[in-house]
Amino acid sequence: PSAALALVCSSAAAVVVWKWLGKRQIQKKMEEARRTRNEGMTKMAKAVQQFREQVPSIQTDAILSLPLLELTGRLREGSLSPKTVLYTYLEKALEVTQQTNCLRHFIPECEEQLQEIQRQREKGLLYGIPISIKDHIGHEGHLSTCGLVQCLGTVVQEDSVLVKVLKRQGAIPFAMTNVPQSLFNYDCSNPIFGQTLNPFNHQKSPGGSSGGEGALIAGGGSILGIGSDIGGSIRLPSSFCGLCGLKPTAERLSVWRTRSLNVDMCSCPAPVPCALGPMARDVDSLALCMKALLCQEMFQLDPTVPPIPFNEEVYSSSAPLRVGYYDTDGYFPLPPCMRRALRETRGALQAAGHQLVAFSPPRIHYVMTELFLKTFFADGGHAWLDVFTGDVVDPNLKSQVNCCKIPRLGKKLLALILKPLQFLLLLKLKNVAMISTCRSVKEMWNHHCEIEAYRTEFIARWRELQLDVVLCPVLGPAFTTGYPGKLLTAISSTMLYNVLNFPAGVVPVSTVTEADEEELKHYQGCCDDPWDRTLKQAVAGAVGLPVAVQCVALPWQEELCLRLMKEVETLSREK
């Protein structure tokens, strides 16, 4: 007995030591990553300081205030040099990241790209424009972390297709921005590089998962950025930070060499595909970026991208539009300010001569429970859990991770116990443990067919009303940090158009007023339940923060989507 006891004790001690060593190894990797980032920022700050000493008369504010179209014109004509513009934005980015923690890493090769564009025979559409890119978009010689420790040891060997095309068009990628851990959150926090803050209110989140991009651009540290969107990850940061952002049809831009969780994304079909898209301060900037990317270089490097150049005629048209609209999807009622923004924008469009038609998206509860979430948790969340192996889980993700860890039998027992509340749980579906899964290959194929059937149904309703575009709400205003993880399915307004794979963009049209804040006190949501009250807490204290609307078009009609966005932007600015 004494020998057995000693063996048990020694085994237990060995397990404890083994776990401690594992945690210590993880901690060392994270510390090394932070040290590397800080050294890169120190190096860049010195380079900026040297440039300022050489050219002390730079009118920084004047350069930073130029819209993208005007800046490209000044660069092409030579009245501004690419070097001056690059170092101006590097300096501003350093300032913004000190306040918001939005940068994951500077790209020192930006100085080599600066020399390269001056050797190019022709000046591309983005000649001399400094551009920021989201953490997981591959850039040669740099990490693509997704906020995960397991990704810290693998350096990207080749630029993604999108980065290659940006460089060919004369752009200068200069920074990679922070993301939430695993990208599966619309906050922006990970254990390695920490929490990113909203530049307008440091108590608020910039949104996610392209939250670093949102904070950097909104803070003035970048004039154009590239994000990704699989549930709202471009549109939600744009809404929270007062930016314009476009999620194109997924296959319109190449995603080759872009990391997603622990695998590399390629152009293979997926039931709910990821899309890369631009984020900027105005709609014209998005249009210019799309025009630059949709070029022969893109189509040659990635033959899976349809060779459809940007249609300037559609974007520049002034013909009246037939616009469908709705101010709620019936699933997750949004705060009063977001519905007010939709109502005012609808009135402005109508007054401008466009035809507005009431539209109701079908079966959103079904889309959330049976299509969107089932796609990501088809295996009960096991593939997602695998990415956290040997990692520290971010506090904002712990509730979802813990739900996925519940064994299948435990989930069945939980479902049985909670059966009396089944309607409420399905109505809001805040518990990942309640999501149905695909238990066989046949069920998975049926799931794919159900998504296609829903797309057909939605398009048929759209065609029946003869719509050109749709105007609808987007989640906002900015949540207090930590709250996005508590309200996973509040993203129904954006998620819908990922399931449909429609182009969708966000435009800021107003700000939260004192009257909005007062009306929020009476907000009851759908049932005045704990989740509705959590949403009220999440958006409280947002006076002065941006309020946005969402614009949508049919697949492959990004130009028409941008056309509506431009019209909305123009009318809101006039107002």
Residues acting as catalytic residues = 134, 209, 233
Any known ligand binding at 544? Answer: no
- The single-letter code of the amino acid at 182 is S
Q: Is the bond leading into 209 cis (omega within 30 degrees of zero)?
A: yes
Structure tokens at 421: 């509340």
* Residue 52, CB-side half-sphere exposure with 13 Å CA sphere: 13
* 183 labelled binding-site residue: yes
Phi and psi at residue 234, in whole multiples of 5°? -95, -45
Neighbour tally for 332: CB within 10 Å:
24
Answer yes or no: is 260 a known binding residue. no
- Give 121's contacts (C-beta < 8 A, 6+ positions apart): none
Contact 298, 332 (CB under 8 A): no
Report whether 232 belongs to an annotated binding site.
yes
| Short-list 188, 100, 197, 242, CA closest to 485 | 188
What residues form DSSP beta bridges with 226? 133, 278
> Is 209 one of the annotated binding-site residues?
yes
In whole angstroms, what is the distance from residue 343 CA to residue 469 CA?
Answer: 16
- 264 burial via Cβ count (<10 Å: 0-12, 13-18, 19+): middle
CA distances from 506 to 119, 282, 468, 470, 549 (A): 37, 10, 17, 12, 6
Sheet holding 504-511, edge to edge: 103-106, 172-177, 130-134, 224-229, 275-280, 244-247, 504-511, 546-552, 469-472, 322-325, 355-358
Does the annotation place 153 within a ligand binding site? Answer: no
SS3 state at 285? helix
The residue whose two tokens read 């993208």 is 68
- State the binding site for substrate: 183, 209, 230-233
- State the binding site: 183, 209, 230-233
